[in-house]
Amino acid sequence: MSRKRVIIIGAGPAGLSAAYSLAKENVEVEVFEASPHIGGMSRSFDLWSQRVDLGPHRFFSNDNTVNDFFAELIKEDYTVVNRLTRIHYGNKFFYYPLKLGNVIRNLPFTTIVRVLFDYTIQRIKPIRNPKSFDEWVINRFGKKLYTIFFKNYTEKLWGIDASDIDVDWAAQRIKTLSLYGAVKNAMFGGRNNKHKTLVDQFHYPKQGTGTLYERAAEQVEKNGGKVHLSTPVKKLIVAEKAVKGVELMDGSLVYADEVISSMPITKLVEGFSVCPPEVKKAKDELFFRNTILVYLNCDSNELFKDNWIYVHSADVQLGRITNFRNWCPSLNGDEKSTILCLEYWAFDKDEIWSMEDTLLGELGISELSKLGLMNDSVKVLSTSVIRVPKCYPVYQTGYQKHLKVIESYLDTYQQLTVIGRYGAFKYNNQDHSILMGILAARNILSGEKTNLWEVNTDSGYQEDAKIKDVLIQ
């Protein structure tokens, strides 16, 4: 009996977890990745004799399947990182998780009173069936706290007004957090904290988060599979409502028994030669946000102690800052400098997306100075810029209606599975994408019928479970 053959589009967390799971079960796997890199948004790379990621990435999951994937590949080659994360707002720094004394010191008494007043009013007169992000958050926290800790950062990230962001974004990301819970955490120092965004320690591979996916790719090839980099897929090969393989950009045709795709769902649909008008229309209503990463090599190793900082201040474009000096000593090697990663978000049409690298470096330095995170005594030795297109699926109000049209259409094709942040148009963490990949492999291996569209939804697999970091049992 011949081995089953599976093509996987994309070498990110979803694609490689699927490939790894299949290859170790004697399935013939072939992975096609458009970029020259392994790991997608979670890749690691060498820069200025140090090791960095594409922004901050950490592992946490309540699912033993995901934990086992991490443990099998990383083994003991990880460290425990003590998390320190702060929010920058109004020239002040707020610890996250909240610390009561810090909040009281940073906010004027009148503001604290207003926060409590707005929260009380919202409890008395809640918004019935909130439809947008701002309505959901105001319902949960009150308007004043929403404007302080949610509005500016969210609108920087998505590039649209918070009233145009679907309620799903809040439901998926902060569904179990409340003002009561935040205050309780602040008063009792986070003891017995179960909310996943408040975990104060996490496990991290010693050579960067991308190590997990590099090792997965190595194991795929060790088990007889192939991982092709810089090999973009043009479209699927379709016959009689079944997917038979893929056509590469160079015109090559590669056939398989199954195809798993983590390429952007909009691009996938564009590749169908015959596509109903309503599906084309739905595809045109979905869009992604780009990321610009500005790396600065600073001649100081004591800039600030945070792992990363959320920048809620509205007077800068900068959204998030990662300090790789504070993650894992093995990342820094013998170097004494600090590498910072500054995150900006943009659409293709935005001026900043096409800004010259030199100007982006200057912008980053000036905004750090404006925020009080870099003084004149710190010299920036080098700058580097990486642009990552189409990395955040935008949850514009009503997106679910359009996505459902595409889901229903794709479900009519046999031998096709779509997974991952891009492929399923879901704002996945690593654990969500890893789980999608493993479940996709199980569906193929055993004929299971797990509905992968349900992973990372408000009613999804994490809803009632205790959230913990990977390997914390």
Pairwise CA distance, residues 126 & 115, whole Å: 15
Give the pTM.
0.90
Q: Give the model's confidence band at 472: pLDDT under 50 very low, under 70 low, under 90 confident, else very high.
A: very low
Task: Please tell me what DSSP assigns to residue 31.
Answer: E
Task: Indicate the range of 56-65, 200-209, 223-232, 279-288 predicted with least confidence.
Answer: 56-65
The full set of domains in the chain, from first to last, is 5-44+206-279+396-454 (3.50.50.60), 98-197 (no CATH), 288-393 (3.90.660.20)
The alpha-carbon radius of gyration of the chain (Å, integer) is 23
8 Å CB contact between 427 and 172: yes
Per-residue pLDDT tens over the stretch 138-176: 998 899 988 988 899 999 999 999 999 998 887 776 655
Checking if the pLDDT of 461 tops 50, the result is: no
Q: How far is CA 172 from CA 85, 165, 167, 266, 432, in A?
A: 21, 13, 9, 22, 12
Pairwise CA distance, residues 172 & 40, whole Å: 22
Closest by Cα among 217, 296, 230 to 47: 296
Neighbours of 406 (CB within 10 A): 23
Task: Indicate the range of 32-46, 195-209, 390-404 predicted with least confidence.
Answer: 195-209
At 10, give phi and psi (nearest 5°).
Answer: 110, 130
Give the pLDDT confidence score for residue 282 in this predicted structure: 96
Pairwise CA distance, residues 109 & 117, whole Å: 12
Per-residue pLDDT tens over the stretch 354-404: 999 999 999 999 999 999 888 888 999 999 999 999 999 999 999 999 999
Helix ranges, 225-356 (H): 265-270, 277-284, 329-332
8 Å CB contact between 362 and 292: no
Give the pLDDT confidence score for residue 174 in this predicted structure: 65
**259 has which bridge partners?**
7, 416
Helix ranges, 159-316 (H): 167-173, 179-188, 211-222, 265-270, 277-284
In the chain, the amino acid numbered 460 is G
pLDDT higher at 98 or 385: 385
Q: Give the model's confidence band at 464: pLDDT under 50 very low, under 70 low, under 90 confident, else very high.
A: very low
Pairwise CA distance, residues 169 & 132, whole Å: 9
* Per-residue burial over 287-323, b = 16 or more CB atoms within 10 Å of its CB, e = otherwise: bbbbbbbbbbbbeeeebbebbbbbbbbeebbbbbbbb
Q: How far is CA 50 from CA 150, 305, 374, in A?
A: 33, 18, 21
Helix ranges, 223-336 (H): 265-270, 277-284, 329-332
240: which 2 tokens? 């009689």
Per-residue pLDDT tens over the stretch 225-274: 999 999 999 999 999 899 999 999 999 999 999 999 999 999 999 988 88
The rounded percent of the chain whose pLDDT value lies above 70 is: 89
56: which 2 tokens? 């901050």
